[in-house]
A and B are shown apart, each in its own frame.
Chain A
Amino acid sequence: MSNSSLGRVSFIVLRHMRTPIIVFICVYAICILGMVLVPGVPDANGQTTYMSFFHAYYFLAYTATTTGFGELPVPFSNAQRVWAICCLYISVITWLYTVGKIISLLQNPHLQSAFAEERFTRAVGKKSRDYYLVCGFGDTGSLLLRGLTNAGLSAVVLDQDKERIKALDLRNYQSKVLGLCADATMPRYLLAAGIERDKCIGVLILSNDEEANLKVAVSARILRPDIKIICRSTSQENESEILAIGGDIHVVDPFRVFASYLSLIIYNPTIQTLNEWMSGEPGASLDRNICPLKNGRWILCGHGRMGQVVYKKLTRRGIDLKVVEPVSEKIEEIAEYAVLGRANLENLKEAGLKDCVGLIAGTDNDTFNLSMVHQANRENPSLFSIVRQNRHANEVLFKKADVDFILQPSLVIARMVLFMLTAPLLKAFFAHLRLVYENDPAKLADVTNRLAIEVGGDFPRLKTYTMCKNKASAVCSTLIEGKEVSLGDIYRSPSNRDNFLKMVPLVHQRGKVIKVLPVNDLALKEGDDILFCMRPAEQAIFEANLVNRYTLEYLLTGQDPARSNFFRWLSTKKLANT
């Protein structure tokens, strides 16, 4: 709990309530004193009676609140009645004034935000699971959170936009994601989001504001020198500044990631298909095969910030590319490969629409991209069209449109960050695949086939397992006893050890040594990391293999070990006799 925000709440309340409280106390004091001093009805002896303080307060309590009990301690004298009239008007007005003040105070936006911050800070402080701090809840942020929560990870969100935080509350994530509407560049809010807690295991900075991202990254690094930071950046200068912060820091550049995805689709669609299948893209399956389209001319519409990165990447790959761009300054450097003008049919024809293999509609305007592809398709039906989807909200339109490939930068980034967090070893896997493809494309098909046969289905799960005492107690204790455990043994099926579970080990890491697609004979050692790709249904069974000594023993030897002391004693007896 932060003292500062609690102090702020009480300060705001006190400052606003000071006048009403003082007025209230004075009015009560005057009324009670008057009631006590005013002479009442004489008693049986003719003595004038006076009201006691208790009765006066009691009378005022039900009068001032307009409750109006009929119960009076003693009938009033006329003098008391006159004073009662005064009391009634003054005190009722004071009450209304005070209540009005309280209500307006509750509606005070500062107080509300102070309360929200206080609630958020407390809830974050109570979090018992490891979580990521996500700054920026735009399209990328929301897609990433979906992935994170589906993978069983937890997160807290900071975003400046009130509407986005409201939207966060309405999302049906598997676990509740805490959000606060706050400017993450203010270190105070990073502290409120629990950046200094051990449970906070990473900061993901995903807003569109380059300056702000850099600021957040710097303050996060100062507050937690050891924490993992992933930061979005689209400019080279900014990127080098962010990387200069040092420590465990990664930069994702949406434009560059987008460009490399694009070149993957064109140059190496098999890896792209694999990537989509692993990210659990609906409808992605391993047998879908787009033939490589690297031979032939492509048209790129839009040479803005993203278009330039795409152009550079694709031409470096040796793809023949023609650019269509309406702003002349943007194509000064590549004038001979470009057509100046809007991407209408005329200009597309000039760029060689008739005999080109594909069109990349890559402007930052969704409607424009769609209409362009629509026009081009009519002219050249065999065209392979790749279209950039800028806004997640336009999903419906894009699904309906006759487009061969939709590339959504925010989704691409979200996936990439998600893989960095849940399966960091996957990078090595894909690097290996690219190498395989360069040397012998046929071998790539072997990998795909193996995955299709041994895992198969949709939505595979990627998970890294560490052979440590907590996660794989059975494996570790078997290793400590000096027995050998090989990689193939741990994912045998516990119902029949001759079969394997529906999973494939993708990458094995021991210290700095990384092996992609390790062989089953590989002898495991304590501390090894293994990235598995599996059917989600097999996860529980596999995890039981890792922690249950008896199951593991069966997997290793094919024999059920004696479970209790008596039977163990009996079996050693038997061994001794034979």
Chain B
Amino acid sequence: MNAEKVVFSFFIVLALTLNFGFFMGELHDFRHHNIYELFATIFVNLVAMGLKLGDRSQVGAVLLSTSIVANIQLIAAALVWGYVTQISGTGLNEHNTSAIVSLAGGALVANVISVVMLVSETLMSRR
């Protein structure tokens, strides 16, 4: 067992699970989506991205890019949330809730790709 692998996989999988948790529920109903969960998702995704930095293999490059995609989408979702609740004053209505959640859904896809690559690379090495 390799401590690096444990930490690395932990963060990548946690990024996916938290993201999924936030995404679950009715698309336009913010009562089903927890803003603290979004915060946790962004935090874990950023950490996962940090752990991926510096890997010079091909797989490492693709893993890093999926993380970047996920982070861009999640931060965009957070910005939308901040704008509607703090600046525009419209509050969380159906339209902007669905925008926030669907952005998080996009990030979910990137996280799924990331996990699939992690698992397949581990299986390929057969150790």
Contacts and interface: CB of A to CB of B under 8 A. Distances in A.
B57 A550 contact: yes
Contacts of A550: 57
A565 B55 CA distance: 7
A494 B123 CA distance: 12
A562 interface: yes
Give the interface size bracket for A toward B. 10 to 19
Interface in B91-126: 125-126
A564 interface: yes
A10 interface: no
Interface stretch (B21-29, B32-40, B45-53, B75-83): B45-53
B4 A548 contact: no
Nearest to B54: A565
Nearest to B7: A567
Interface size class of B (residues with CB under 8 A): 10 to 19
B54 A564 contact: yes
Contact of B60 (A494, A495, A564, A568): A564
A495 B126 contact: yes
Nearest to A496: B127
Interface in B60-88: 60
B90 interface: no
Interface in A490-544: 494-496
B54 A563 contact: yes
B57 A560 contact: no
Given A560-B2, A560-B4, A566 B127 contact: no
A420 B7 CA distance: 52
B127 A495 contact: yes
B31 interface: no
A463 interface: no
A568 B55 CA distance: 10
A365 B51 CA distance: 73
B51 A567 contact: yes
Contacts of B53: 564-566
A221 interface: no
A549 interface: yes
A16 to B, nearest CB: 57
Contacts of B54: 563-566, 568
Most buried by A among B7, B8, B55: B55
B117 to A, nearest CB: 13
Contacts of A496: 126-127
B50 A566 contact: yes
B125 A494 contact: yes
Interface in B2-30: 2, 4-5, 7-8
B119 to A, nearest CB: 16
Contact of A549 (B4, B8, B56, B125): B56
A563 B50 CA distance: 12
Interface in A542-564: 548-550, 560, 562-564
Contacts of B52: 564
Given A549-B57, A566-B50, 20 more contacts: A494-B125, A495-B125, A495-B127, A496-B126, A496-B127, A550-B57, A560-B4, A562-B4, A563-B4, A563-B8, A563-B57, A564-B8, A564-B51, A564-B52, A564-B55, A566-B51, A566-B53, A566-B54, A567-B7, A568-B54
17 contacts: A495-B126, A495-B127, A496-B126, A496-B127, A560-B2, A560-B4, A562-B4, A563-B4, A563-B55, A564-B51, A564-B52, A564-B53, A564-B55, A565-B54, A566-B54, A567-B4, A568-B54
| Leading 9 A-B pairs by shortest Cβ distance | A565-B54, A495-B126, A564-B54, A563-B55, A567-B4, A564-B55, A565-B53, A566-B51, A564-B53
Interface of A: 494-496, 548-550, 560, 562-568
Interface of B: 2, 4-5, 7-8, 50-57, 60, 125-127
